[in-house]
Amino acid sequence: MTAQIIDGKAFAASIREKVAGHVARLREDHGLKPGLAVVLVGEDPASQVYVRSKGKMTLEVAMASFEHRLPAETSEADLLALVETLNGDPEVHGILVQLPLPPHLNSDLVINAIDPAKDVDGFHISNVGLLGTGQKAMVPCTPLGCLMMLRAQLGSLSGLEAVVVGRSNIVGKPMAMLLLGDSCTVTMAHSRTRDLADVVRRADIVVVAVGRTEMVRGDWIKAGATVIDVGMNRVPGEGGKTRLVGDVDFESASARAGAITPVPGGVGPMTIACLLANTVTACCRANGIAEPEGLTV
């Protein structure tokens, strides 16, 4: 079997187009302009790239973009004061603090200082609790993007066996909650799971977010399974350059899977598209306007 490639880049473009339509309607019908504030502390090169993309794409869908770049040595008190200001700013509907933060800053403390209604990352403890109890939450962008791709690929997920490899707060745990919400039978596995290959082999859906280069091999994949690779690992490439590879060995896995996301061009682009979608959702909720269909779960 040769897997169908799930084109996250094209899917993300279609979501951004939908978001742009909703932004136009919010302006025409309600005089509203959704605004997203992104806070970057320090100069981590990858974070700088992501924050630049977020700002550019926010403007492309005609939302307001507020970028705050702070020096690496910013104190926790100063960062918390900025979050407080953004919480009170009526032009800001979504707040995102780019992770990772420099080690002297407590990211849990900072994230939990964000107004949960503006927490477009869905990382605030209130949103985690709402998602975990099946209530209306802000849903973390990467797992939201994965769920959208799975639904588009498979239709109903009800009753399917799903294995999530990786237990991070940003991807693994919320992904498991979302799959449970869609009535999958969910197993959470991780790098210390015994007989991991056998656990993965029983899955109709495999989501891998474990941060280990090409750890999941083709012979771990059940024939016809849908494989979502969230991994983003930089490895040496040709001519002294680096290249990006996932947590799944793409070549061998695509020989067995029914469908698979590539890296790059799979899950990554969905993350920013879902961030824009969450900002529209937050703006609607803040103003008592019915939320557009299809932008969240």
Let me know if 153 is a catalytic residue.
no
Query: Which one is catalytic: 18, 118, 119, 121?
Result: 121
Query: Shortest distance, CB of residue 27 to ligand LMY7XDAE, whole angstroms?
Result: 26
Rank residues 96 and 149 by Cβ distance to ligand LMY7XDAE and give the closer one.
Answer: 96
Tokens of 240: 């002294």
Query: Shortest distance, CB of residue 211 to ligand LMY7XDAE, whole angstroms?
Result: 11
Tokens of 295: 């932008």
* Contact assessment for residue 225 and residue 257, using Cβ atoms and an 8 Å cutoff: yes
Using N-to-C axis directions, what is the helix angle for 267-286 and 8-30, rounded to 10°? Answer: 20
Query: Shortest distance, CB of residue 288 to ligand LMY7XDAE, whole angstroms?
Result: 27
List C-alpha distances in Å: 40 to 10, 135, 203, 268, 280.
Answer: 27, 30, 38, 19, 21
The binding site comprises 166-168
Query: Shortest distance, CB of residue 266 to ligand LMY7XDAE, whole angstroms?
Result: 6
Shortest-Cβ-distance residue relative to ligand LMY7XDAE: 268
Indicate left, alpha or beta for 75 from its phi (over 0: left) and psi (-120 to 50: alpha).
Answer: beta
Rank residues 96 and 216 by Cβ distance to ligand LMY7XDAE and give the closer one.
Answer: 96
The binding site for NADP(+) comprises 166-168
**CA-CA distance, 255 to 198, in Å (whole number)?**
18
Rounded to 5°, the CA angle 84-43-246 comes to: 105
Query: Shortest distance, CB of residue 181 to ligand LMY7XDAE, whole angstroms?
Result: 19
Rank residues 117 and 244 by Cβ distance to ligand LMY7XDAE and give the closer one.
Answer: 244
Let me know if 48 is a catalytic residue.
no
Binding site for ligand LMY7XDAE (CB under 6 A): 50, 96-99, 121, 141-142, 232, 244, 263-265, 268-269, 271-272
Work out whether strand 233-236 and strand 242-245 pair parallel, antiparallel, or are unpaired.
Answer: antiparallel
Let me know if 54 is a catalytic residue.
yes
Query: Which one is catalytic: 54, 118, 173, 222?
Result: 54
Backbone angles phi, psi at 246, to 5 degrees: -90, -170
- b/e sequence 58-87, b meaning 16+ C-beta within 10 Å: beebebbbbebeeeeebeeeebeebbeebb
Starting at the edge strand that comes first in sequence, how are the strands of the sheet with 64-70 ordered?
Answer: 64-70, 35-41, 94-97
Rank residues 36 and 232 by Cβ distance to ligand LMY7XDAE and give the closer one.
Answer: 232
**Cis bond before residue 143 (omega within 30° of 0):** no
Rank residues 189 and 263 by Cβ distance to ligand LMY7XDAE and give the closer one.
Answer: 263
Q: Which residues are catalytic?
A: 54, 98, 121
